[in-house]
Structure formats: structure tokens, C-alpha cells
């Protein structure tokens, strides 16, 4: 059973917010679903018809042995196999900066899903800015990397960067929630300058303009 | 060749220890892809576990090229353990305390189901090459007739590796409503040029043996022992990986300190292959080998759907769990991915995992805990959905 008190959940506060954005009984694709924590919760609590894509064998095996339908694959090559609008939601949790082609994948999410839910780590968070300013070194951003040379985050972006990209691509931000360093949803909205400073992560509910 | 004759009589006896045998197609013959008709014909099968009240816990296991219905041992001919003891049995992934596991000898086989070694009712002599060419689809049609006979409408799962996996895919395409889940392991939706090429080497080895006698060896009471053994040797290499062969044998010598400067089996790997070849001949029929390899070569699921594999799976509601093996170069992961891609294209319900193993194609027969855990979990999840009582 998925428990919101399990260590996996406390480590990933964005997942709770993502789960809240999903309407019950919908079709969901979780891209980079890991060991299936979110998918399992969505299946059990919201009765969704869930599918996942995960790159690691360990993750896929964990998911499949939980009874989830997950394929071992790479988001950057395998999303193209799904038909248009196959899902109500395509979810991408915290992995956007780790992709080689984040812009293309964002568009793909909104092709296979009528909506996309994307969470990102915010490079504009004040602590990261301060780290760069004072230490003069690239912040780790929670990636637990040995150094800048082995961080999975190939394309770090800020909340404002992401909002700008959505604007360029004609993507509508239906909802946006920032998480502070304790994983709590913050009050900052408006122009986003404060959000970009005080949000450590952000979760976006997206759709295309012509929807 | 008393051993091979024993195989047919063993399955004939109707003794459950030796498996069951049923006559199918008596009322309506099986019309083959080649348009030939077969019937009535014998089908030998084995069952493990108990069918539940509403007949919802049946799993059909499809065996591979050189396998047979004896998943669990002892094998009635060789006396050895069964070919999937790691997977099937009480407490195993295919738990016979929960599931009713059925495995039938394939059409064209030599363990009791009709094949080229059987008597052709029209001539009174062994079929030999008069036996009609069969396909994977024909094998599945025959199995469907067996299920009709057993009065099982829907299988909880159809599972198989290698050629068994091809049958699984064909099952899901031909009878999606009869397959609640489908598990093709180390398989492909078509035979590649390389697959066909290796099979052709095996067939040529058999046909080049003078004792094959144009397929009529049973009449003269001869047997192409050497040809079939060489075919098995060539085939066996393709089931293993370079790493597995190296780990097992390296360049170690067989019962000698130095090379003999001759053509004895100096190397352990040679001795091993020769043993594989000879022991295979004791339990397998040469013409069956020709017919079954041919059936595999002809397999191309997309072909009959306009060349688009996804079309084959349109509106299929079966839940798939597709498994490949990293070091399998005979049915590589890329072939399984083609199937996954096609299933995704029609938004089918599919799980796919690539098992990390350096043991090659045959890893599906071996003790691979990740494969068991993944498949076991998949079946548990599906059982819940199917409402199976698994207490």
C-alpha cells in the first residue's frame, strides 16, 4: 500500500502536489516513474488507469511487481511511440533538467497527454543564488552529485526560465505551486519574482492553448 | 531408435505421469495456413495444479523449439528434470498451488502431438516430408482446440519463452479475448534474417546426412544422428552468450594436459557441444526439427496486418508483460522493444523489462530472480484485477 508517511514521500514533497492535481478516474502516464510511488497512490486513491516509463531495470521491476504497468525505456526516445492524446495527464517529476532535449519532451508530454504536470527543481532558489555568489561554485541542487561534472542536471532552469519557455511554446500554465525548502506550498504568486527566489521546487499544471 | 518410439507410446498411455493425449479435429479438421487440413490429430499435453471452479486460473505455457510438455520432471524419455522447474511448481512464480498450468506438445512435435514421425492415415506409413508445413499460428490454433476440449474459455495467462513467446504473441493477436494476460519472454514478432540463417544451417546439416534419406529414414529404420546432432550444436551456440561460454569453458582442455594435434575434442567446449548434440538425438526427431524451425522462420506477425505490427494489436485488451534479456543476441531486446512500441502505439496495457544477465538467450530457462520477481508481481497484480482468490 502506498503510504504518504513512507520515506519516499517525505523525500518528494512535489509528488503530493502532483497527485492533488490529477482528477480521479483518468488515464495517466508517469514519465520517469522510479519505483512507482506516485503511480501506486494514484491507482489506489484516485482509481486512475496508470502507465509508467522508467529507465532503470530496478525501478521497472519494483513497479511491475507492485502490479503497475510500466515499461523500461527512455523518455527521450520512447514517448514518440504513443498516439496523440493517449492520456489525460502526462507527468514528469523533477527530471526535466536531466533531459538532453527538455523543450522537445515538454511538447511531447502535451502531445500524448491532454494536460501535463511537470515539477522542476528551481535553480533560482535564493540558497542556490547565494551559493554561487558567495562560494563561486555551482550549487548541487539536491542532485547529490560528486561535483558539477557528474550532475544529472544537464539543463538547470529557474521557475522564470520555465515560465518563459511555456510562453514561447504557447503552453498555458493552468496552475503553479511553489515548494519552500521544507516542502511546503508557498504563498508567492503574482509576477513570480518572489516565487523564483523562495521556491525550491515548483509544480505546474499545463495545457496547450488550443485545448 | 527405441527411445523415440517410447516417447510416443509414453504419451499414448493416458497415464497422467506420462501426460495426457487427446484426439482433436475429429468433427472439423484444422485448416492450416498452408491450406492443408489436419484431423483428427493427436495432441499430447501435461497439466500441473488444479483448475478452479470458474476455470479462471488456467495458464497456458508454450514451449520452445526443443522443449516439450514436460515442464516438470522426470522426463519420460531422458529421466531428467523438466525444462522450467525454476519457474513452475508449488511456491514458484507460476505457483501450481494457485494456478492450473497447461503445456501441450506443439503441432509437428515428437512427444505425442501429431508430427512427421506419425503414421499418415492415407498411406499407412510415416508422414516424413508428406507432413504439411505448419506455422506458429497453426500451433496456436491447435492449442485453442485443446482449450475448447478442456472447456476453458479464457486463460488467466499465456506464457512462453523463445518460440513459446512467439506463440504467446500469436495468441494475443488471434484470441485476445481468451488471454487475460500475455507474457512473451526473449521472443520477437518475426524471425530475423540472422535467425533464419542459423536455422538453415541446422536444416542443411540434417538434410546432408545420408541417413536422413530424403526424410524417409523411419521406413528404412535409420536416423540422421550426425546431422541432427550438428544442428543441435549450431543451435545451442546461439542460445548462449560469448561471456557464458567463456566463463564455463574458457580455453580449458578436456581430460588432457596439452592439445593432441588432431581433431579430437581437445577443448572442453567441443566436448560439451558434442554431448549436447548426442543427447538431443535421443529425444528429438530430425524431421520435427525441420518442420518446427520452418514454422519459426515463417513467423512475421506484422506481415498479415499490412506490415504494421501495431495493427495486429488494435483493440487488444490483454495485459502484456514483455521480458527480454540483455545478453540475448538471438532475440535481442530491440526485437522486444518493437513489440512494446507497437503496443504503445495502440495505447495497449503493457509492461516491459529487460533482465540484466550475461547468460544469453537461455537465461529465460535459468534461475534469474529479477525475472521471477517481476513476473510474479505482474501476475499477482493481474490476479487481483481478475478477482482470483489466491489465498
Picking from A26, A28, A69, A84 by the largest number of B CB atoms within 10 A of its own CB, the best residue to mutate is: A69
Give dist(CA B169, CA B100) in Å, integer: 21
Phi first, then psi, for residue A100 (nearest 5°) are -70, -35
In chain B, residues with a C-beta closer than 8 Å to the C-beta of A78 are 341, 344
CATH number, domain of A75, equals 3.40.50.150
Q: Do B80 and B166 belong to one domain?
A: yes
- Which of the following is catalytic: B7, B162, B288, B336? B162
Centre a 10 Å sphere on the Cβ of residue A7 and count the other Cβ atoms it contains: 8
Residue B6: exposed, middle, or buried by beta-carbon count in 10 A (0-12, 13-18, 19+)?
middle
Query: What is the residue range of B232's domain?
Result: 196-293
Residue A49, pLDDT score: 94
Residue B10 has pLDDT above 70, yes or no: no
Q: Which three cell numbers stand for residue B23?
A: 484426439
Chain B nearest CA to A87, separation (Å): 9
Subunit contact A71:B344, Cβ cutoff 8 A? yes
Give me chain B's average pLDDT, please.
Answer: 93
Structurally, how many domains does chain A consist of? 1
Query: What is the residue range of A39's domain?
Result: 7-208
Centre a 10 Å sphere on the Cβ of residue B270 and count the other Cβ atoms it contains: 16
User: Residue B12 domain-assigned?
Assistant: yes
- Is residue B192 part of the annotated active site? The answer reads no
User: Residue A181 domain-assigned?
Assistant: yes
In chain B, residues with a C-beta closer than 8 Å to the C-beta of A82 are 344-345, 347
- Is residue B328 part of the annotated active site? The answer reads yes
Residue B102 has pLDDT above 70, yes or no: yes
Structurally, how many domains does chain B consist of? 2
Subunit contact B376:A65, Cβ cutoff 8 A? yes
Subunit contact A57:B370, Cβ cutoff 8 A? yes
Over the stretch B157-185, which tens digit does the pLDDT of each residue have? 999 999 999 999 999 999 999 999 999 99
From the list B346, B349, B356, the residue facing A57 with the nearest CB is B356
User: Of the ranges A63-72, A143-152, A189-198, B363-372, which one carries the lowest mean pLDDT score?
Assistant: A189-198
A15 confidence band (pLDDT: 50, 70, 90): very high
Give me chain A's average pLDDT, please.
Answer: 91
User: Residue B391 domain-assigned?
Assistant: no
Over the stretch A199-211, which tens digit does the pLDDT of each residue have? 999 999 999 987 5
- Chain A CA closest to residue B310: A81
Centre a 10 Å sphere on the Cβ of residue B114 and count the other Cβ atoms it contains: 28
Radius of gyration of chain B from its Cα atoms, rounded to whole angstroms: 21
A:163-192 residues touching chain B, CB 8 A cutoff = none
B314–A contact, CB cutoff 8 A? no
Nearest to A82 by CA among A30, A33, A19: A30
User: Could you tell me if B174 and B181 are in contact, meaning their C-beta atoms sit under 8 angstroms apart?
Assistant: no
Over the stretch B112-153, which tens digit does the pLDDT of each residue have? 999 999 999 989 999 999 999 999 999 999 999 999 999 999
User: Residue A1 domain-assigned?
Assistant: no
CATH number, domain of B378, equals 3.40.50.1820
User: Residue A58 domain-assigned?
Assistant: yes
Over the stretch B265-280, which tens digit does the pLDDT of each residue have? 999 999 999 999 999 9
In chain A, residues with a C-beta closer than 8 Å to the C-beta of B346 are 83
Cα distances (Å, whole numbers) of residue B366 to A15, B158, B239, B355, B370 = 38, 19, 12, 12, 11
CB pairs under 8 A between A and B: 72
Q: Do B263 and B121 belong to one domain?
A: no
Chain B nearest CA to A106, separation (Å): 19
Give dist(CA B81, CA A206) in Å, integer: 57
* Strand partners for A172: A207
Percent of chain B with pLDDT over 90: 90
- Which of the following is catalytic: B86, B357, B361, B362? B361
In chain A, residues with a C-beta closer than 8 Å to the C-beta of B384 are 67
The residue among B261, B293, B325 that closes a domain is B293
Cell 539543463 sits on residue: A155
B310–A contact, CB cutoff 8 A? no
Helices A102-112, A159-169: axis angle to 10 degrees equals 60
Q: Which three cell numbers stand for residue A49?
A: 488507469
Q: Do B164 and B21 belong to one domain?
A: yes
Q: Residues in chain A, how many?
A: 211
Residue B147, pLDDT score: 98
Q: Do B56 and B177 belong to one domain?
A: yes
Q: Do B185 and B219 belong to one domain?
A: no
Q: Do B11 and B128 belong to one domain?
A: yes
A114–B contact, CB cutoff 8 A? no
Chain B nearest CA to A63, separation (Å): 8
Over the stretch A45-104, which tens digit does the pLDDT of each residue have? 999 999 999 999 999 999 998 889 999 999 999 999 899 999 999 999 999 999 999 999
Residue B181: exposed, middle, or buried by beta-carbon count in 10 A (0-12, 13-18, 19+)?
buried
Residue B345, pLDDT score: 92
- Is residue B361 part of the annotated active site? The answer reads yes
The residue among B256, B274, B293 that closes a domain is B293
User: Residue B382 domain-assigned?
Assistant: yes
Subunit contact B349:A69, Cβ cutoff 8 A? yes
CATH number, domain of B247, equals 1.10.1740.110
Residue A1 has pLDDT above 60, yes or no: no
Over the stretch B290-344, which tens digit does the pLDDT of each residue have? 999 999 999 999 999 999 999 999 999 999 999 999 999 999 999 999 999 999 9
SS3 category, A52? strand
Q: Do B177 and B205 belong to one domain?
A: no
Helical segments of B115-215, H only? 136-150, 163-174, 193-207
State the complex-level ipTM.
0.87
The residue among B228, B258, B293 that closes a domain is B293
B11 confidence band (pLDDT: 50, 70, 90): very low
Q: Which three cell numbers stand for residue A158?
A: 529557474
Over the stretch B214-261, which tens digit does the pLDDT of each residue have? 999 998 889 999 999 999 999 999 999 999 999 999 999 999 999 999
Strands B88-89 vs B94-95: parallel, antiparallel or unpaired: parallel
Tell which phi-psi region holds residue A190, choosing left (phi > 0), alpha (psi between -120 and 50) or beta: left
Amino acid at each position: 500500500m502506498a503510504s504518504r508517511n513512507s520515506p519516499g514521500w517525505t523525500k518528494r514533497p512535489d509528488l503530493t502536489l502532483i497527485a492533488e492535481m490529477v482528477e480521479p478516474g483518468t488515464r495517466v502516464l508517469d514519465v520517469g516513474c522510479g519505483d512507482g510511488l506516485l503511480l501506486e497512490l494514484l491507482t489506489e486513491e484516485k482509481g486512475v488507469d496508470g502507465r509508467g516509463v522508467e529507465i532503470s531495470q530496478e525501478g521497472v521491476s519494483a513497479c511491475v511487481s507492485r502490479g503497475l504497468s510500466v515499461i523500461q525505456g527512455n523518455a527521450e526516445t520512447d514517448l514518440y511511440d504513443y498516439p496523440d492524446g493517449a492520456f489525460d495527464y502526462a507527468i514528469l517529476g523533477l527530471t526535466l533538467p536531466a533531459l538532453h532535449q527538455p523543450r522537445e519532451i515538454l511538447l511531447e508530454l502535451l502531445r500524448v497527454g491532454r494536460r501535463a504536470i511537470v515539477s522542476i527543481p528551481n535553480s533560482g532558489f535564493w540558497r542556490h543564488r547565494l551559493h554561487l555568489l558567495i562560494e563561486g561554485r555551482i550549487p548541487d541542487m539536491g542532485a547529490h552529485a560528486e561535483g558539477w561534472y557528474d550532475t544529472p542536471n544537464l539543463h538547470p532552469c529557474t521557475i522564470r526560465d520555465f515560465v518563459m519557455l511555456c510562453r514561447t511554446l504557447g503552453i498555458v500554465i493552468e496552475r503553479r505551486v511553489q515548494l519552500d525548502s521544507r516542502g511546503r506550498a508557498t504563498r508567492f504568486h503574482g509576477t513570480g519574482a518572489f516565487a523564483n527566489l523562495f521556491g525550491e521546487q515548483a509544480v505546474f499544471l499545463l495545457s496547450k492553448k488550443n485545448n | 531408435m527405441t527411445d523415440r518410439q517410447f516417447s510416443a507410446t509414453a504419451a499414448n498411455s493416458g497415464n497422467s505421469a506420462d501426460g495426457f493425449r487427446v484426439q482433436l479435429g475429429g468433427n472439423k479438421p484444422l485448416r492450416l495456413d498452408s491450406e492443408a487440413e489436419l484431423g483428427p490429430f493427436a495432441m499430447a499435453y501435461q497439466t500441473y495444479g488444479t483448475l478452479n471452479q470458474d476455470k479462471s486460473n488456467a495458464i497456458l505455457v508454450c514451449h520452445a523449439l526443443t522443449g516439450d510438455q514436460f515442464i516438470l520432471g522426470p522426463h519420460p524419455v531422458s529421466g531428467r528434470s523438466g525444462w522450467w522447474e525454476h519457474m513452475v511448481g508449488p511456491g514458484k512464480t507460476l505457483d501450481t498451488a494457485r494456478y492450473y498450468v497447461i503445456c501441450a506438445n506443439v503441432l509437428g512435435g515428437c512427444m505425442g502431438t501429431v508430427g512427421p514421425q506419425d503414421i499418415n492415415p492415407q498411406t499407412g506409413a510415416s508422414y516424413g516430408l508428406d507432413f504439411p508445413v505448419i506455422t506458429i499460428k497453426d500451433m496456436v490454433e491447435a492449442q485453442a482446440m485443446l482449450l475448447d476440449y478442456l472447456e476453458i474459455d479464457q486463460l488467466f495467462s499465456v506464457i512462453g519463452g523463445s518460440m513459446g513467446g512467439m506463440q504467446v504473441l500469436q495468441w494475443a493477436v488471434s484470441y485476445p479475448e481468451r488471454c487475460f494476460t500475455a507474457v512473451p519472454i526473449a521472443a520477437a514478432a518475426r524471425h530475423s534474417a540472422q535467425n533464419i540463417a542459423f536455422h538453415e544451417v541446422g536444416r542443411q546439416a540434417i538434410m546432408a546426412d545420408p541417413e536422413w534419406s530424403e526424410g524417409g529414414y523411419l521406413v528404412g529404420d535409420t536416423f540422421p544422428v550426425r546431422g541432427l546432432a550438428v544442428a543441435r550444436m549450431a543451435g545451442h551456440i546461439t542460445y548462449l552468450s560469448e561471456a557464458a561460454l567463456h566463463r564455463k569453458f574458457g580455453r580449458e582442455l578436456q581430460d588432457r594436459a596439452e592439445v593432441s594435434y588432431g581433431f579430437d575434442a581437445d577443448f572442453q567446449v567441443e566436448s560439451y557441444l558434442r554431448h549436447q548434440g548426442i543427447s538431443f538425438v535421443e529425444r528429438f526427431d530430425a524431421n520435427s526439427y525441420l518442420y518446427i524451425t520452418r514454422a519459426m522462420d515463417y513467423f512475421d506477425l506484422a506481415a498479415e496486418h499490412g506490415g504494421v505490427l501495431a495493427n495486429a494489436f488494435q483493440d487488444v485488451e490483454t495485459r502484456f508483460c514483455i521480458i527480454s534479456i540483455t545478453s540475448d543476441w538471438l532475440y535481442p531486446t530491440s526485437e522486444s522493444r518493437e513489440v512494446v512500441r507497437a503496443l504503445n502505439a495502440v495505447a495497449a496495457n503493457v509492461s516491459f523489462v529487460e533482465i540484466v544477465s550475461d547468460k544469453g538467450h537461455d537465461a529465460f530457462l535459468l534461475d534469474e530472480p529479477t525475472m521471477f520477481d517481476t513476473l510474479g508481481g505482474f501476475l499477482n497484480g493481474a490476479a487481483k484485477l481478475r478477482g482470483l482468490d489466491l489465498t
